[in-house]
């Protein structure tokens, strides 16, 4: 039974772009201008990582481990070095000895020894695809041939692939020095359990005792990849004076600089990182993989620049992904549906080195709801898979999938509507997150549930036997982080805005819009550019949904400061006490001039005008999203088709609504892939079997309907325009919403992601 085109919610022929008009009370914010980098990106002129071309450029390739877990006994590179055209070969032995200490270098803390060992394996290969050696040669084919001549002797060890493998008695140990950290108390024995922590509030036993209904379930989710379409690249030149230049496609140039500095023991002052355009990141382009290797190769090759580009298979084998997990959730509720107690246990696979996103997951798992009695236990576990990287609301999708599934079971048992149970329990200002931190400012969870409950979608009945409908909520904490920017007033009245947040999804536009709004000039008068690490002060990564929030705050501050300085300068020139600015015109005494004329006058009459702003907001508004999915299940094949999908998200204030909608739609579709198809499949030796985009099956245009968006605006008071991060929370609910819809469609519940056709068929037999 195929789902027909008509059954999917169609576009009603509405295809012209939405009107671009500012929000009430604003002149720019809320409009939908074309992004400054747009023309370059639709004409192919934009330069991405792999597009960098330099004089004398060498091409590199990386030799990777065929084994998931092996001791490296010896590496012989002599035959590769002898191949004509080969200019340099490096192995882990070329890396300086890394300190055994934990540092915070980008967005998360990591032991420097592990960071170094992930770039080029030290004594052990810890996953299929772990980098062992690298070659630079005159062209990529020669480099590819050369890595085939490198001889590596391995002692193959048994692979440890899952939570259960890793926690078993007598499990093989991945990292000899690893001990379990239980909130500062270190275990005494070698282990694969890196960390255990707990959040606890109220009285769990009393809460469950007071429940009318208790549901306890165990879930399994598989490893998934961020899936950016641009593979990782890194180009570097080690100059003979010791200065290093890196061209990077990265979420954070300063994160690349810091990591490279620590791995290679080169002072940050000797490293300049130049950002290229970036072809998607989603958290996966914060960790470095290739850049320090390119620096090493360039140094060995006498200072010639070296470019490394991963194949898609390398991307899937050795970068990203995010954690697979085992999750146990127990929730109790009274007869009215009010949650009386909840206990969550989260076991997250960190990959080869500690650092899964279980810390964030431990909040996400119960944060949409106000719960007096709760406990969350988080476990960070190493396995022979690639070191996990951040992926859009890291850890959140798995956790919410489990909670939202159990919550719907409770609603079904009590005969309560699935939107209603979320309204009964939804968190609001004054409530606390699972870790105890209080929401002291307004939050928009209840507004998003209400928006879904009132939507046309929710009030349109399903029409088919194998159709189902599911709701889920999600939370993401968002982030502030450090941002820096400068703005130069040009003589023609334009402003050159120099910032350092690499632009992955239109942030040059959203930042320029906030500057233009603050100054009261047109968007087109602001010329934003993303500078290198020598041109702006330190700037955190484009991640954590922070860029439009924090860098936008810096832009706003600069706008206010520029206006203030312009007024002072004009007051001096005009010899008046005060200058006013309104509707694009400066006035003082009998003088009235436009912004453009003022810029020319300031240029002529004194020193150039430049302002800067550096910010580090400690507080930021969390994001909530409630989502509604309709699915249809094919009873013959088990294939799940998304019929209709609606997202309501608290976006604080939508600076550029088209790009906010785009974030929501994009995050949801990644979540749909996670829910239905995407998973890492390993054989018994721990080798990845589906390392291509044919077999690692991400959603295509044909798999989806239009994704409807409802922008709920509960402004965050700590930002001048009320901005909340919008990039991540959208990926938190989809797996839960779809799981609830599938359960509704087939009448039985599934406890494993992805809900691929074979698994759905299996569930339908029960």
Residues 112-171 that bind another protein (CB under 8 A): 140-141
| Minimum CB–partner distance for residue 429 and another protein (Å) | 12
Does 99 sit near another protein (CB under 8 A)?
Answer: no
Give every strand in the sheet of 339-351, ordered side by side. 185-186, 181-182, 193-201, 374-382, 339-351, 325-333, 213-221
Burial of 420-440, coded b for 16+ CB within 10 Å and e otherwise, reads ebbbbbbbeeebbbbbeeebe
Which of 229, 582 has the CB closer to another protein? 229
Spacing of C-alpha 393 from chain mean position: 6
Report yes or no: 485 and 498 within 8 Å, Cβ to Cβ: yes
Q: Among residue numbers 491 through 530, which ones bind another protein (CB under 8 A)? A: 504-506
For another protein (CB under 8 A), the number of binding residues is 123
**Contact range with another protein by CB under 8 A, out of 158-166, 332-340, 579-587, 690-698:** 690-698
Does 46 sit near another protein (CB under 8 A)?
Answer: yes
Annotate each residue in 240-279 with x if it binds another protein (CB under 8 A) or - if it does not, as one string. Answer: -------------------------------------xxx
Strand partners, 70: 125, 156
Q: Among residue numbers 404 through 433, which ones bind another protein (CB under 8 A)? A: none
Does 85 sit near another protein (CB under 8 A)?
Answer: yes
91/376 Cα distance (integer angstroms): 42
7, 23, 34, 167: which one binds another protein (CB under 8 A):
34
| Minimum CB–partner distance for residue 213 and another protein (Å) | 26
752: its two tokens: 């494993």
611/498 Cα distance (integer angstroms): 10
| Minimum CB–partner distance for residue 248 and another protein (Å) | 15
718: its two tokens: 């700590």
Q: Tokens 């809460």 — which residue?
A: 207
Does 470 sit near another protein (CB under 8 A)?
Answer: no
Does 398 sit near another protein (CB under 8 A)?
Answer: no
| Minimum CB–partner distance for residue 526 and another protein (Å) | 17
C-alpha pair distances (Å), 118 with each of 122, 264, 316, 387: 8, 13, 15, 8
| Minimum CB–partner distance for residue 281 and another protein (Å) | 8
167/164 Cα distance (integer angstroms): 5
343/117 Cα distance (integer angstroms): 36
Which of 380, 447 has the CB closer to another protein? 380
Q: DSSP string spanning 423-452?
A: HHHB--TT-B-TTS-B--S---HHHHHHHH
| Minimum CB–partner distance for residue 102 and another protein (Å) | 4
| Minimum CB–partner distance for residue 13 and another protein (Å) | 8
| Alpha-carbon dihedral sign for residues 358, 360, 362, 368 | negative
Does 7 sit near another protein (CB under 8 A)?
Answer: no
| Minimum CB–partner distance for residue 577 and another protein (Å) | 39
| Minimum CB–partner distance for residue 744 and another protein (Å) | 23
184/68 Cα distance (integer angstroms): 31
- Report the run of H or E that residue 605 belongs to, with start and end: helix 595-605
Annotate each residue in 603-622 with x if it binds another protein (CB under 8 A) or - if it does not, as one string. Answer: -------------x-xx---
**Contact range with another protein by CB under 8 A, out of 33-41, 91-99, 128-136, 171-179:** 33-41
Which of 374, 579 has the CB closer to another protein? 374
Report yes or no: 558 and 739 within 8 Å, Cβ to Cβ: no
Q: Among residue numbers 554 through 613, which ones bind another protein (CB under 8 A)? A: none
Which of 378, 736 has the CB closer to another protein? 378
| Minimum CB–partner distance for residue 93 and another protein (Å) | 27
In the DSSP assignment, the letter for residue 403 is H
Annotate each residue in 188-217 with x if it binds another protein (CB under 8 A) or - if it does not, as one string. Answer: -------xxxxxxx----------------
- Report the run of H or E that residue 317 belongs to, with start and end: helix 312-318
């Amino acid at each position: 039974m195929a789902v027909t085109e008509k059954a999917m919610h169609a576009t009603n022929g509405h295809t012209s772009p939405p009107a671009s008009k500012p929000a009430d009370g604003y002149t720019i914010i809320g409009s939908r201008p074309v992004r400054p980098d747009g023309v370059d990106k639709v004409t192919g002129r934009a330069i991405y990582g792999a597009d960098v071309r330099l004089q004398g450029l060498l091409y590199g390739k990386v030799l990777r481990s065929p084994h998931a877990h092996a001791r490296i006994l010896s590496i012989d590179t002599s035959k590769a070095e002898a191949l004509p055209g080969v200019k340099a070969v490096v192995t882990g032995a070329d890396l300086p000895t890394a300190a055994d200490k934990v540092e915070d270098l980008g967005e998360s803390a990591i032991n420097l020894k592990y960071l170094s060992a992930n770039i080029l394996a030290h004594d052990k290969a810890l996953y299929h695809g772990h980098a062992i050696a690298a070659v630079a040669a005159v062209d990529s084919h020669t480099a590819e041939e050369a890595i085939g001549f490198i001889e590596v002797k391995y002692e193959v060890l048994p692979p440890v692939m899952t939570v259960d493998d890793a926690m078993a008695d007598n499990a093989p140990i991945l990292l000899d020095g690893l001990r379990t950290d239980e909130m500062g108390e270190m275990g005494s024995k070698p282990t694969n359990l890196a960390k255990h922590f707990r959040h606890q509030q109220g009285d769990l036993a009393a809460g469950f005792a007071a429940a009318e209904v208790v549901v306890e379930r165990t879930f399994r989710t598989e490893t998934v990849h961020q899936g950016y379409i641009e593979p990782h690249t890194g180009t570097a030149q080690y100059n003979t004076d010791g200065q290093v230049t890196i061209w990077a496609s990265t979420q954070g140039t300063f994160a690349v600089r810091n990591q490279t500095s620590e791995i290679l023991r080169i002072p940050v002052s000797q490293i300049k990182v130049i950002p290229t355009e970036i072809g998607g990141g989603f958290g996966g382009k914060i960790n470095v993989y290739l850049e320090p290797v390119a620096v090493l190769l360039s140094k060995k090759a006498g200072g010639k620049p070296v470019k490394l580009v991963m194949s898609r298979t390398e991307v899937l084998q050795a970068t990203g992904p995010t954690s697979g997990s085992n999750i146990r959730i127990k929730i109790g509720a009274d007869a009215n549906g009010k949650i009386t107690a909840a206990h969550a246990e989260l076991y997250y696979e960190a990959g080869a080195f500690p650092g899964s996103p279980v810390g964030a997951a431990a909040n996400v798992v119960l944060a949409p709801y106000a719960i007096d009695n709760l406990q969350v236990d988080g476990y960070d576990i190493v396995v022979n898979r690639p070191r996990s990287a951040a992926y859009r609301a890291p850890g959140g999708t798995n956790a919410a999938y489990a909670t939202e599934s159990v919550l719907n079971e409770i609603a079904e048992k009590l005969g309560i509507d699935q939107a209603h149970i979320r309204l009964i329990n939804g968190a609001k200002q004054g409530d606390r997150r699972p870790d105890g931190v209080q929401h002291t400012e307004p939050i928009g969870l209840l507004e998003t549930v209400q928006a879904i409950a009132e939507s046309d979608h929710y009030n349109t009945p399903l029409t088919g036997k194998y159709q189902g409908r599911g709701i889920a909520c999600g939370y993401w904490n968002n982030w502030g982080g450090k941002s820096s920017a400068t703005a130069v007033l040009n003589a023609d009245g334009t402003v050159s805005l120099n910032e350092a947040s690499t632009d992955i999804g239109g942030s040059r536009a959203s930042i320029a819009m906030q500057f233009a709004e603050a100054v009261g000039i047109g968007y087109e008068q602001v010329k934003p550019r993303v500078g290198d690490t020598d041109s702006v002060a330190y700037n955190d990564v484009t991640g954590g949904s922070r860029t439009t929030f924090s860098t936008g705050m810096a832009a706003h501050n600069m706008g206010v400061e520029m206006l203030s300085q312009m007024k002072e300068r004009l007051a001096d020139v005009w010899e008046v006490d005060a200058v006013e600015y309104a509707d694009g015109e400066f006035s003082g005494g009998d003088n009235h001039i436009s912004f453009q004329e003022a810029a020319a006058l300031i240029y002529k009459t004194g020193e150039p005008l430049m302002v800067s702003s550096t910010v580090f907001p400690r507080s930021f508004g969390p994001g909530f999203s409630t989502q509604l999915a309709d699915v249809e299940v094919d009873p013959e094949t088990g294939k799940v088709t998304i019929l209709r999908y609606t997202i309501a998200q608290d976006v604080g204030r939508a600076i550029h609504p088209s790009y906010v909608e785009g974030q929501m739609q994009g995050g949801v579709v990644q979540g749909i892939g996670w829910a239905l198809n995407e998973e890492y499949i390993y054989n018994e030796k721990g080798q990845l079997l589906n390392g291509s985009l044919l077999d690692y099956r991400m959603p295509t245009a044909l798999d989806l309907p239009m994704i409807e968006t409802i922008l709920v605006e509960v402004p965050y008071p700590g930002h001048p325009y009320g901005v909340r991060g919008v990039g991540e929370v959208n990926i938190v609910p989809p797996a839960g919403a779809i799981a609830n819809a599938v359960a509704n469609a087939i009448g039985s519940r599934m406890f494993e992601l992805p809900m691929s056709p074979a698994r759905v068929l299996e569930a339908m037999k029960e």
